[in-house]
Amino acid sequence: MVAPTYDEIRRAPKALLHDHLDGGLRPATILDLAAGIGHELPAATPEGLGEWFVAAADSGSLERYLETFAHTVAVMQTREALVRVARECALDLAADGVVYAEVRFAPEQHLAQGLVLTEVVEAVLDGFREGAAEAAAAGTPIRVGTLLTAMRHAARSMEIAELSVQYRDAGVVGFDIAGAEAGYPPTRHLDAFEYLQRENSHFTIHAGEAFGLPSIWQAIQWCGADRLGHGVRIVDDIAADNSLGRLAAYVRDKRIPLELCPSSNVQTGAAASIREHPIGLLRDLRFRVTVNTDNRLMSGTSMSREMALLVEAFGYGWSELQWFTVNAMKSAFIPFDERLALINDVIKPAYAKLMS
C-alpha cells in the first residue's frame, strides 16, 4: 500500500466538527485588523506572528494555551472584522478540501466595542455565507454550520443556549462550552443543557482534555452531551489489556463521537506526541473517532495536515481516512438526510476513486 501524500489528502473530501473561529485567523488578517485599532501584537510579520502563536501555545498547559486567544479576540470586535474572519475561515477550509465544517466561537467574547449578541452572531453567519458562496463559485463547495460556545468560567451559558435556538434555522447547528476545564465542571451549566434538551437541540461539551473521567461522565450522564469535545482522556477508563470500564464501554456502545484534536492535545500536554496519541488505540477499539483541527492558528495546522500526521505516525491509508471522515459526517448536527447526501454523493465516491 502506498501511503496517501499530503497533496492527495488535500484533494480528498474531509469533514471537520471541532474548529474554533477565533483559533483560525490568518496571521496577515490579525496584523491588518490590529493596525486598524492600535492593538499591539508580539510580532510584526505574518510569518513571525504565525510562529509566535504556535510557540506560545506550545506550553503544555491548557490555561497558558488559552492566553494566546487574547490577541485574536481583540481584533474580532466589529461587524466588519467578524464578517471578514468568518469569510476567510470558510475559504481556507474549502481550499483545504473540507466539504463540511462546524465552526464554533463564543459570542460573549465579542461585545467589547458595543456589539450585542445577535449582531455578533449575524455577522459571523453572513461571513460564512459569503465565504461558502465564493468557495462554491471557485469549484470547492463547502457547507459550514456554526456552533455557539459559552465560556465555562462565565455565567452566560443559558443566554447563549437561547441564542443558539433562536438562530437554529439561520445556520447555527448547535451549542458548546469551552475554556479552562479544571475547576469548571459541565454541571455548572446544567440549566442550559436541560433547556437545550427540551428544545430538541444538539450540543457538544469540551470534556476530557485537561481534566479526566469525572468531566466526561458529567458531560454525558448529567448534561446529555451528543458529542465530546476532545474526550481523549476516556483512555483513563481502558485497562492495559484493553478491557473497558463502564464509562468507556458506555461511550463506545452508544457510539458517542469523540472530537479528537491530535496536535492541540500535544501542545496542551494531553498527549505526549502524535505517535503516543490515544487516537491509535481508540481507533483500534472502534470508538466513534473523528479527526479535528481545534485551532489552526495556534497549532499551525489544517485538516489535511492532521490527517497527514496520522498517516505518518500510524501508517493509516485511505480506508482509515475515509472512516474518520464518514464518522464525522455521521456525527454532524445537520439533519440526517443532509448528512447522508454528503456521505453518499460526495465522500464515498471520492474515496472509492482514491482507493482504486
Ligand X SMILES: O=c1[nH]cnc2c1ncn2[C@@H]1O[C@H](CO)[C@@H](O)[C@H]1O
| CA 219 – CA 236 distance, rounded (Å) | 16
Helix 157-166 to helix 190-198 angle, to the nearest 10 degrees? 20
Is 39 annotated to bind a ligand? Reply is: no
Tell me: is residue 253 an annotated ligand-binding position.
no
The answer to whether the CB of 103 falls within 8 A of the CB of 176 is: no
Nearer to ligand X, 176 or 320 (CB): 176
Residue 66 binds ligand X, judged by CB under 6 A: yes
> Which residue is at the shortest CB distance from Zn ion?
294
Closest distance to ligand X from the beta carbon of 144 (Å): 15
- In the block, residue with C-alpha cell 442550559: 192
Is there binding between residue 264 and ligand X (CB under 6 A)? Answer: yes
294 annotated as ligand-binding: yes
CB atoms within 10 A of CB 106: 25
* DSSP H helices in the chain: 6-11, 27-37, 46-57, 62-67, 69-74, 79-95, 117-137, 157-166, 190-198, 213-217, 246-253, 262-268, 279-284, 296-299, 303-314, 318-331, 336-341, 348-355
Q: How far apart are CA 216 and CA 71, in angstroms?
A: 30
List the x/- string, 76-105, binding to ligand X by CB under 6 A: ----------------------------xx
Interaction between residue 184 and ligand X (CB under 6 A): no
3-class DSSP assignment, residue 17: strand
How many residues belong to the site for Zn ion (CB under 5 A)? 1
The answer to whether residue 206 forms part of the interface with ligand X (CB under 6 A) is yes
Taking CB under 6 A as the criterion, the residue among 29, 140, 149, 218 binding ligand X is 149
Please name which of 46, 127, 116, 28 lies closest in space to residue 77, comparing C-alpha atoms: 116
**Cell numbers placing 79:** 461587524
- The verdict on 226 binding ligand X (CB under 6 A) reads no
Q: How far is the CB of 295 from ligand X (least distance, A)?
A: 5
Q: Is 134 a catalytic residue?
A: no
Is residue 207 within 8 A of residue 230, CB to CB? The reply is yes
For residue 18, say whether it is annotated as part of any ligand binding site.
Answer: yes
Active-site residue (options: 102, 209, 259, 306): 209
C-alpha cell at 81: 472584522
Q: Which of residues 300-339 bind ligand X (CB under 6 A)?
A: none
Closest CA to 106 of 50, 189, 4, 49: 189
**Near ligand X by CB under 6 A: residue from 178, 196, 225, 282:** 178
3-state SS, residue 149: strand
Q: Does 20 carry a binding-site annotation? A: yes
Q: Going residue by residue from 291 to 320, which x/- string records binding to Zn ion, judged by CB under 5 A? A: ---x--------------------------
- Residues with catalytic roles: 209
* Binding footprint of Zn ion on the chain (CB under 5 A): 294
Binding residues: 18, 20, 22, 179, 206, 294
Binding residues for substrate: 20, 22, 179
* Binding footprint of ligand X on the chain (CB under 6 A): 20, 22-23, 62, 66, 69, 73, 104-106, 109, 149, 178-179, 206, 209, 264, 294-295
